[in-house]
Amino acid sequence: MTDNLIEIPGYTVHGLLGKGGMAEVYLATQQSLHRKVAVKVLLNAGDQEFNTRFIQEGHIVASLHNPSIITIYDINKLADGRFYMAMEFVPGGDLAQHKGRIFEPERALAIVRQIAGALAVVHGKGLIHRDIKPANILFRNDGTAVLTDFGIAKDMQLDTELTHFGVAVGSPAYSSPEQTQCQRLDARSDIYSLGLILLEMLTGNNPYRGSNYTQTVLNQVQMPVPVLPAHLAMFQALLERMLTKDPARRLPDCQTLLAALGQIELGDPDATQIRPAVTVSSPAASSVKVVPDKTVAAASRLRPFYWAIAGLLLVCALVVGGIYYQQQVRIADLLAQAEQRLGQGQLIEPQQDSAEHYFQQVLQLDTDNPAALAGLQRVLDLRIEGLLKSAAASIADKRWLLPEDDSAVFYYRQVLLIAPDNAQAANGLLQVAELYRDMAKESYRKRQFPAALEMIERGLQAQPDNPELLAMQADHQKMLASARAAEAERSARKKKQAGATQRSAPSGEKNWLERWIDTAVGD
């Protein structure tokens, strides 16, 4: 948060969410509708070309309708001439925050399926995104993946600027071979990028990312599709068709991709393939032949050559051994740094100096390193533990649903994004839903029907499929009508009683019997 926040008419600005080279994003409340929004504001008002691109982005996204595409609410200009764009606030973070994490195949499939559905809409409009990467995939509180940042999206029919200017746009670690080579693009380029994201979620690693830009580009152009481990073999054929270098052999569109995703059958994650042991039989005695003297003589003449080969092999072994030693030293150093960051509580931040980062660096050198794998699991466990503690504190402070980014529901859903089967988080959401259920019942008892409906709706925000709350929501109008009928009946009865009283006591004075009846009957 900053002390001097930007002023945006019609919005209450709460703080800075992030800043890039061309724009900054603020968390704000849209005053007219009382909803949280993310407001992207350009840093410079004078760049007409970028202003045009910014407005174009807003128009593009506003024309796209899909649950997994970010929603644009408003585009306008500040008093200083800078443009801003108000859009849906997505509090669940982005996929890039989970770098190095190995997703459950079911969760990875769900994310790719949602983004593929969004891209089907994008491509159906004749557009290509051109920057599909983890940082542009956000998560709502319910876990829905949302595609954002259409700043470099392009009409497929007009995509000529790359070949004219020889400038590659997008992120090289997730760019298609044709994109890195500044060739004409179509929907298949986005499919390639999504394939890399699927590969990274399944394995925890993007093997195409090199140590520098040039190496990354070469990898995208030359590196073959990696062979997946046995427990992920059901994804091999799909990734081969998504990541082939030749666009003509790639899946042609996202409808075909969605069909292919639907055909993947996930096996038992606990199943293990056991290969039979290899047995080596000894040759029969009758097969042993006596070497003639001439052969022995020839072997003697070749002996110096054999010694030379042996010497060369020895040198190679020493070199390889030296490299192996250096690698082990490097791994030990990375593990030490990872453990230090764990002790300091730097689990995933900062991205390049966290425990997760160093454990992942180890796995780049040794993909099956047990210490690194165990370390990443510890990072995951500690993150979950911290989120559950924050949720418990929010429950104690009665911050059940609000504020959106500091409530029990927010923290429980963060846990479920990391570990979808976490029982404690699921029970926590149930607990919040039941709290609102109880408050709704109390409001009904007091005949406060609007308050009751509000409590029901809040409870459903915590747990949308809660059967009790859904039943109460369905019966609300019936209960309201019944209450109104009862009230009308009471009112009519009171009027009748009042008329009778006036007839029996014209003076307006009630005797003790009449007062007692009034008290006994009540309202």
| Secondary structure (H, E, C), 225-245 | CCCCCHHHHHHHHHHHHHHCC
Given 131, 149, 186, 190, the catalytic residue: 131
Packing angle between helix 303-344 and helix 293-301, nearest 10 degrees? 60
What single DSSP character describes residue 291? Answer: P
Query: How many whole angstroms separate alpha carbon 92 and alpha carbon 138?
Result: 7
Residues 447 and 459: their CA atoms lie apart, in Å, by 19
Tell me the one-letter amino acid at 148. Answer: T
Q: Round to whole Å and give the CA distance between 93 and 144.
A: 11
Q: Extract the runs of DSSP E, i.e. beta strands, from 78-144.
A: 83-88, 127-128, 137-139
Half-sphere exposure of 199 (CA within 13 A, CB side): 27
Q: What is the DSSP string of 366-378?
A: -TT-HHHHHHHHH
For 510, phi then psi, to 5°, come to -95, 140
Cβ neighbours of residue 225 under 8 Å, at least 6 residues apart?
A: 239, 240, 243, 244
DSSP-based three-state secondary structure for 343: helix
CA 350 to chain centre: 19
- Our answer to whether residue 131 is catalytic in this structure is yes
Q: Which residue is associated with the tokens 């925000």?
A: 461
Q: Which two tokens stand for residue 187?
A: 């929907």
Task: Report how far residue 57's alpha carbon sits from residue 87's, in angstroms, rounded to the nearest whole number.
Answer: 12
Residue 54: per-residue pLDDT: 84
pLDDT value at residue 274:
30
220 and 208 in contact (C-beta within 8 Å)?
Answer: yes
**Quick one: tokens of 247?**
């666009």
What is the C-alpha to C-alpha distance for residues 249 and 218, in angstroms, rounded to an integer?
20
Q: How far apart are alpha carbons 315 and 312 in whole angstroms?
A: 5
Q: Starting at the earlier edge strand, list the strands of the sheet with 11-19.
A: 11-19, 23-30, 35-42, 83-88, 72-77
Q: Which residues of 444-455 are buried (b: 16+ CB within 10 A; e: fewer)?
A: beeeebeebbeb
Contacts of 79 (CB under 8 A, 6+ apart): none
Query: Which pLDDT score, from 0 to 100, does residue 523 have?
Result: 46
| Residue 502 tokens, joined | 């006036």
Closest by CA to 154, choosing from 185, 178, 121, is 185
| β-pair type (11-19, 23-30) | antiparallel
Instruction: Return d(Cα 408, Cα 150) in angstroms, integer.
Output: 32
Mean pLDDT per block of 10 residues along the chain (523 residues) reads 72 86 87 93 82 83 90 92 93 90 95 96 90 93 90 48 41 89 89 97 93 86 93 95 95 95 72 32 35 47 57 51 68 87 86 84 82 89 92 92 87 86 92 93 88 91 90 87 81 76 55 51 49
Reduced to 3 states, what is the DSSP secondary structure of residue 354? coil
Distance between CA atoms of 11 and 32, rounded to whole angstroms? 8
Output phi, psi for 73, to 5 deg.
Answer: -100, -35
> Residue 182 and residue 159: Cα distance in Å, rounded?
11
Structure tokens at 157: 């029919």
What are the φ and ψ backbone dihedral angles of 50, each rounded to 5 degrees? -75, -35
Dmax over Cα atoms in the chain, in whole Å? 149
The whole model's pTM is what? 0.51
